[in-house]
Amino acid sequence: MLIHPQFNPVALDLTGLGLPIQVHWYGITYLVAFGLFLWLANLRVRQPWYANAGWTRRDTEDLLFFGVMGVVLGGRLGYVLFYKPEYYLQHPLEVLAVWKGGMAFHGGLLGVVVAMALFAHLRKRSFWQVTDLIAPCVPTGLASGRVGNFINGELWGRAADPSLPWAMVFPQAQDGVARHPSQVYQFLLEGMLLFAVLWWFGKKERPLGQVSALFLLGYGATRFVAEYFREPDGFLGLGALGLSRGQWLCVPMLVAGAALWWWSARRAKVQA
């Protein structure tokens, strides 16, 4: 079995030069995620159905700004409300202490939904056209975030058979147990696999809302599967039916994705 390499989480440290600057790998993965989003979104707006609708590079830059705000605010509030509401109710000022960690994807998703709704309203565009545009550009950012999790040796997996060739001991767990490198699983599933499927699907003009629906279904399914290999948060454990909090949060995504796909297909049939 393997041992986690114990990377230094600080990529650049200038404190030795008298400068109060430390650049963490996790922060770099966020920058990579935003850069990949901008690059891919610029490719998307060149597709005829978006170009003919007046989408430009300037729009993608504005989308990135709105998206970043949604990810940061929604991700933090989602963690507070979904994972530790009792703690933050007793320590409300710590909600602002983002440097201590604590972000939730499902909260970030809701934050992005609100941000995209605001963008669509201000630009007088269809909300589903906006989300269809950005959906294939999101998974690479998720993949980048999982790289950051692996570098930090956090969010490790559940116990694995030590004979599994890629089973890994995470010293941060302080138990010497061979575990699934669930960060790698999530990188491959909700990151690269979901990106490949959405990018392929989005290469053709699809009925309004269908690309967004596929994102909800695809992420909900891949995250649900990956959670079987990821160690649940110690303060939560497993919930009803032996499912983790992450899996339960995927259920409404799957339901919403199925409903949106049905609505999209029905709308396209009526308009045909």
Long-range contacts of 256-263 (CB under 8 A, 24+ apart): 256/216, 257/213, 257/214, 257/215, 257/216, 257/217, 257/218, 257/220, 258/213, 258/217, 260/209, 260/210, 260/212, 260/213, 260/216, 261/209, 261/210, 261/213, 261/214, 261/217, 263/209
Q: What is the largest CA-CA distance in the chain?
A: 67
Sequence letter at residue 11: A
**Residue 121 structure tokens:** 């309203």
Binding-site positions read 146
Under a CB-based contact definition with an 8 Å cutoff, are residues 218 and 198 in contact?
Answer: yes
Enumerate the β-bridge partners of residue 3: 169
**Number of Cβ atoms within 10 Å of the Cβ of 141:** 21
